[in-house]
Amino acid sequence: MAFPQILAPAGNRDAFLAAIAAGADAVYCGLKSFSARMEAKNFNLDELAALTDLARARGIDVYVAMNTLVKTEELEQVAAAIYELGRVVGPSALIVQDPAVLALAQQVGFKGELHVSTLAGGTFPLALETLRRFKQITRVVTPRELSVDEIKTMAAACPPGIDLEVFVHGALCYAVSGRCYWSSFLGGKSGLRGRCVQPCRRRYSQGGDRGRYFSCLDLSLDVLVKVLAGIPQVRAWKIEGRKKGPHYVYYAVTAYRMLRDEGRDPKAKKAALSLLEQSLGRVGTHYNFLSQRPQEPLQAGVRTASGMMVGKVKGPANAPYLSPRLALLSGDRLRIGYEDEGGRQTIVIKAGVPAQGRYGVKPGKGQRSLHGMPVFLTDRREKALQEYIQELGNALKPVQSASAGRFAWKLKPVKSASARPFDMVVRRRPSSSDGGRQTQSGLWLSPQIVSQLSASQAAHAWWCLVVAAAGNLAGQSS
């Protein structure tokens, strides 16, 4: 297997098969529960087992994301899911956010590797040393927000046996790699539980102006990925998109595989960039990858809708039509309007339409006119790709798992030095003046303080993130 791995997303069967068709080195996907992309179709155990067998026969790894936060009442269900996943599917690795899931995976005897999700916040070198305590952890997924210099700093701090996985393409989050409470606050659907409704993609009003002030462009490192190729600890280039279709997966995987291997073909760079342009994502940005030349991911006036714009609705109100700038294929999926606007429609093309041809459209119920509305190609079904997917689908061998017996699991109790309430004195620097059985020392988290403490002091300190507001201090300790 070539390194770095090209790691492909798969939210459904056809996307998984498209990743295989494109020559991905590994595929990541999720079950129908405990996945940070619950809006994707995802997989049941038997279906995933058959796909994993097919991938494994072709030397392709399969990673399963169980990367949501877990509630106490779900622990037994999570333990059972991991046990069955290991028994029936046997993936190469689990991608995990919640430390409880790491512990449960070890308790139920999961044999594969454990990869720490970007949602877990392994964003700085000291975190790598902490994660080393879990012996099965072999990889940390870095957040999209890091520059290449910060990635190099992380790489230099990697303990033996732990490597890095870096996002190279796909959607950017307005928060820090999905650690966001916005969706939960507005609609009770937590992003950390895999149910984000993407409020950042919507339009908002301010002072009479209306716009998509929080909607980010897509990350696209494209030719800059060659910089990552020189960092040996970066073992995987990750493509985001478990809610995307097989066309996106095939084109994005093929493009980055060509960019990784372009030394063998001088024309590969130009061809790869063309494939990325046709992958039906949003407009791309290098974001903060080059700290000396950062690109603003929020750009007023630049469309942030998904899909490739193919034209606008023309004609009179009683006979609107689309004259696409490129040929449309049978099975293509179009969206009229933006995702967050009323009157939007989704259309599936029944027969091909030539470039600059005419395709009639109809207003939705209660809609007066479509004139001037943008039209986006959001998914495509090329005949050759469909035939390849069908060929791979025919090679799948059905798996029917026998039900397993129950197994025992337990939570390790957390030992506390004292059950009594105590006072905490939060300081800017270490002090020996705090004492007494009911007093604990807290320290503001900063690089200066970390450098002053011994390992023993750091292990026994309460670390506080302190926010100053109107003269008041509010801290959160861990």
pLDDT digits (tens, 9 = 90+) for 194-203: 778 788 888 8
Is residue 446 a contact partner of residue 430, using CB atoms and an 8 Å limit?
no
- In 122-175, which ranges are continuous DSSP H helix? 125-131, 148-156
Identify whether 4 is preceded by a cis peptide bond (ω within 30 of 0): yes
| pLDDT given at position 398 | 86
418 pLDDT band (50/70/90 cuts)?
very low
Q: Could you confirm whether domain 5-172+216-280+390-394 is CATH 3.10.20.30?
A: no
Instruction: Show the tokens assigned to 245.
Output: 């279709």
Looking at residue 43, the DSSP 8-state letter turns out to be B
What is the secondary structure of 409-476 as a DSSP string?
A: --PPPPP-S--S--EEEEESS--S---STTEEEEEE--HHHHHHS-HHHHHHSEEEEEEEETTEEEEE
pLDDT at 469 over 50: no
pLDDT at 180 over 70: yes
| pLDDT given at position 467 | 39
Taking the C-alpha atoms of residue 91 and residue 30, their distance in angstroms, rounded to an integer, is 11
The bridge status of strand 93-96 relative to strand 204-206 is unpaired
Residue 65: strand, helix, or coil: strand
Nearest to 114 by CA among 122, 123, 105: 105
Bridge partner residues of 176 (DSSP) = 179
Taking the C-alpha atoms of residue 358 and residue 320, their distance in angstroms, rounded to an integer, is 10
| pLDDT given at position 471 | 34
Q: What angle do CA 155, 465, 444 make, to 5 degrees?
A: 90
Instruction: Show the tokens assigned to 296.
Output: 């603003």
Which of 139-148, 351-360, 388-397, 453-462 has the least mean pLDDT?
Answer: 453-462
Most confident of 152-166, 423-437, 457-471: 152-166
Taking the C-alpha atoms of residue 224 and residue 36, their distance in angstroms, rounded to an integer, is 28
Give the mean pLDDT of 145-173: 94
432 pLDDT band (50/70/90 cuts)?
low
Residue type at 351?
A: A
pLDDT at 265 over 80: no
Taking the C-alpha atoms of residue 45 and residue 16, their distance in angstroms, rounded to an integer, is 14
Give the mean pLDDT of 372-391: 92
Looking at residue 213, the DSSP 8-state letter turns out to be T
409: burial class by Cβ within 10 Å (0-12, 13-18, 19+)? middle
Which of 235-244, 251-260, 281-290, 455-464 has the least mean pLDDT?
Answer: 455-464
Q: What is the mean pLDDT of the chain?
A: 84
pLDDT at 28 over 50: yes
Is residue 239 a contact partner of residue 279, using CB atoms and an 8 Å limit?
no
| pLDDT given at position 249 | 96
The bridge status of strand 61-66 relative to strand 26-30 is parallel
Give the mean pLDDT of 280-291: 90
Instruction: Write down the architecture of domain 308-379 according to CATH.
Output: Beta Barrel (2.40)
Residue 359: strand, helix, or coil: strand
Nearest to 63 by CA among 91, 96, 43, 37: 91
pLDDT at 12 over 80: yes
Give the mean pLDDT of 226-243: 94
Domain ranges of the chain: 5-172+216-280+390-394, 308-379, 423-477
Is residue 349 a contact partner of residue 330, using CB atoms and an 8 Å limit?
yes
Taking the C-alpha atoms of residue 304 and residue 283, their distance in angstroms, rounded to an integer, is 7
Edge-to-edge strand list for the sheet holding 423-427: 423-427, 439-444, 462-469, 472-477
Handedness of CA 67, 71, 75, 80 (dihedral sign): negative
| pLDDT given at position 34 | 76
Nearest to 372 by CA among 309, 301, 320, 313: 313
Residue 353: strand, helix, or coil: strand
